[in-house]
Structure 1
Amino acid sequence: MTAQQLFHARGYDAVSVADITEALGINPPSFYSAFDSKAGLYTRVLDRWATTGAIPLQEILRADRPVAEALAEVLEEAARRYSSDPAAGCLVLESTRCNDTEVREAALACTIAAETVIRDYISERHPEAAASVTDYISTTMSGLSAKARNGSDLTRLLATARLASSVLEQALSPEKNSTRLD
């Protein structure tokens, strides 16, 4: 949890092994014995985050809900999580831009996995829009994360998520015929 908070608050690149060992109250040899590297620790943090901190897509993206409504909830949940203390932004999305190739690839794999869940959900009822709407959701979430990291508060992030949701309703409506995101 401590390492996750450090990575989340500062970003992967700004956290040193010295920061981690000090926060954990261990010495560097113990750190390397336990985690092999900072990237090794980050990978463990991602695994833990996936089960405890990630947006619960499986709970939100249910077959009994309208697609636009469920996706709107995903965006609002992202806004809430990205603006929460002790850090802002998304642990995973922010790490897709870090300098460490191994960490960047691990974060990208998490992002792709989430996009796959979203795309598959949309495809069940709107196969023609699945790719473009998934890209729209992903892009909006990246923007929400960046805005949170830059200091936007929950009120502003929710307003943006709700505005984005109105586009989803239009893009996924049965009458949309000529209104497409691609």
Structure 2
Amino acid sequence: MTTNISSARGRPRRFNPEEAVVTAQRLFHERGYDAVSVADLTKALGINPPSFYAAFGSKAGLYARILDRYAETGAIPLTRIFSAGRPLAESLAEVLVEAARHYAADPGATGCMVLEGTRSNDPEAREAACGYHVAAQDLIREHIAARYPQEADRLADFVSTTIAGLSASARHGQSLERLLATARLAGLAIAQALPLDTAHDSKR
């Protein structure tokens, strides 16, 4: 959807909601959901409040669209990692390394936007972020359970807790090198916690 919105000089200009989502995502990721106001958004997008609400419904409605985009373009590629057909310990280690890389990729927008959103004061935004967070946790747990059902809960919790720690450390300014060191150490711990992946090795 593209609409005409008058500029400050009275000339019509094109407003593209998809481009607005990209701009707003940057704001939310940099500052956190609660620190971004509708006034901040309308200023950044160059539109007035009625146009903002007509396009997105609410601040939380815009945030939900941003989370959809983040899941496709900025989140850890869990499906790709787990579909590679390698030993589970290697896949889980890569999940952590990818988390470290993603969370430090942009110095101005560090950490995981979903995890940050799960602590929002806005119930609607918090629920949307928690939905993505739980879905990622469940996916990790399912892949572990497929090979090591008795290890699924504790190992999934370990991975999720490590990811949360990497995100928080990135937000606090920890360097990529240190984040990667933590991720790789956690990967070694996972390898020690799992028995030999005989099902995978038998196919080699």
TM-score (norm 1): 0.93
Structure 1 position 61, deviation (Å): 0.8
Tell me which of 17, 20, 30 is aligned to 1:9: 30
Identify which of 133, 137, 141 aligns with 2:163: 141
Number of residue pairs aligned between Structure 1 and Structure 2: 175
Deviation, 1:63, is 6.0
Instruction: Compute the displacement of 1:159 (Å).
Output: 0.5
> How many Å apart are 1:48 and its aligned residue?
1.3
Partner AA of 2:127 in structure 1: E
Partner of 1:157: 179
- For the aligned residues, what is the CA RMSD? 1.2
- Say which of 70, 73, 77 aligns to 1:52: 73
Note the 1:125-140 alignment, pairs <5 A.
Answer: 125-140=147-162
Could you say which residue in structure 1 is the equivalent of 2:138? 116
Query: 2:75, 2:111 → 1: CA distance?
Result: 12
Alpha carbons of structure 1 residues 110 and 69: separation in structure 2 relative to 1, 3 Å: same
Runs of 4+ aligned residues of structure 1 deviating over 6 Å after TM superposition are none
- Give the Å deviation of 1:47: 1.0
Q: How many Å separate the matches in 2 of 1:72 and 1:6?
A: 30
- Is residue 2:102 matched to residue 1:81? yes
1:29 aligns with 2:29: no
Residues 112-159 of structure 1: CA deviation (Å, up to 9, x unaligned): 101111111111111110111111111000000000000001001001
Q: Equivalent residue for 1:172?
A: 194
Note the alpha carbon deviations across 1:87-116, whole angstroms, 9 max, x for none: 111000011111011111111110110111
1:39 Cα shift? 0.5
What's the counterpart of residue 8 of structure 2? none
What SS does structure 2 have at the residue aligned with 1:111? helix
* Higher deviation after alignment, 57-66 or 129-138: 57-66
- Is it true that 1:97 corresponds to 2:119 in the alignment? yes
Q: Which amino acid aligns with 2:163?
A: M
The letter for the 2-side match of 1:38 is K
How much has 1:62 moved relative to structure 2? Answer: 2.2
Higher relative contact order (CA 8 A, sep 6+): 1
Larger radius of gyration: 2
Give distance in 1, aligned partners of 2:84 and 2:30: 35
For 2:183 and 2:44, the matched residues in 1 are separated by 35
Runs (5+) with no aligned partner, structure 1: 176-182
What CA distance in whole angstroms lies between the structure 2 residues aligned with 1:56 and 1:170? 24
Q: Which moved more, 1:56-65 or 1:150-159?
A: 56-65
